[in-house]
Amino acid sequence: MTKPEIAEDFTRPKLVLASASPRRLELLQQIGLEPDALLPCDLDETPGKTELPRTLASRLGREKARAAARIALSRPELAKAYVIGADTVVSVGRRILPKCELSSEAEQCLQLLSGRAHRVHTGVCLIVPGGRERHKLIETRVRFKRLSSSEMEAYLESGEWRGKAGGYAIQGLAGAFVIKIIGSYSSVVGLPLYETISLLVGEGFPAMTTWLNRV
């Protein structure tokens, strides 16, 4: 039997990523998904006084998706789009580490992470056409080697830490610091691929259509 072909007039539903992060875009592209629009929003990401890291990641993931969904609804070509939002939070115990913009912040994070384990929480929210929401929270444990002063200085000089939760990028130079990881690597980068595609497929999005006939 010959393999059935997909009808030529098949139209994939629109997909919106509620982020301007190159990392999240690259992760989606890795599994064959090309968003039809990037709709980032400017949110206040300050944690509440007693807010736990996992709660913050879940809340910000939902808020980002909801903000993007509101924009998408105002655009006829995106009104029936699937919208994905995500946020990543790095923590040591109950302490939430910042998304570093200053070298002093990144230095404090590296000193705290050196030689110990920490947790990375990523909250993912999918909003489907009609407004229904699905959520996932992923927790990954990461252990760093003990960093020397010269390693810290070199990493700070690289500037790779800028804008990164916890002051490092595991997919970059900081990958050399990681002794052990328990959980989802892609979640630490910014978007857990298994959970994201599971949410999409579970809601009827033909996420694997682009895999057909790939060389």
Domains, the chain, with CATH or none? 15-211 (3.90.950.10)
CA distance 109 to 90: 10
**Helices in the chain by DSSP H: which ranges?**
22-30, 53-73, 103-113, 149-158, 185-189, 193-202
CA angle, 147 as apex, 155 and 166 as ends, to 5°? 60
Strand partners, 124: 86, 136
* CA-to-CA separations, 128 to 40, 79, 99, in angstroms, rounded: 17, 10, 29
CA distance 30 to 83: 18
Query: Is the separation of the CB atoms in 211 and 32 below 8 Å?
Result: yes
Q: Is the pLDDT of residue 88 over 50?
A: yes
* Chain segment 114-127, per-residue pLDDT in tens: 999 999 999 999 99
- Residues of the chain with pLDDT > 70, as a percent, come to 94
* Chain segment 48-62, per-residue pLDDT in tens: 989 999 999 999 999
- The pLDDT, as a whole number, for residue 182 is 98
Q: Is the pLDDT of residue 47 over 90?
A: yes
Q: Is the pLDDT of residue 1 over 50?
A: no
Mean pLDDT of the chain: 93
Query: What is this structure's pTM?
Result: 0.90
Known catalytic membership, residue 87: yes
Catalytic residue among 9, 36, 44, 87: 87
* Chain segment 117-163, per-residue pLDDT in tens: 999 999 999 999 999 999 999 999 999 999 999 999 999 999 999 99
Per-position DSSP letters for 136-155, written without gaps between them: EEEEEEEEEPPPPHHHHHHH
CA distance 95 to 53: 8
* Chain segment 3-44, per-residue pLDDT in tens: 444 444 357 899 999 999 999 999 999 999 999 999 998 898
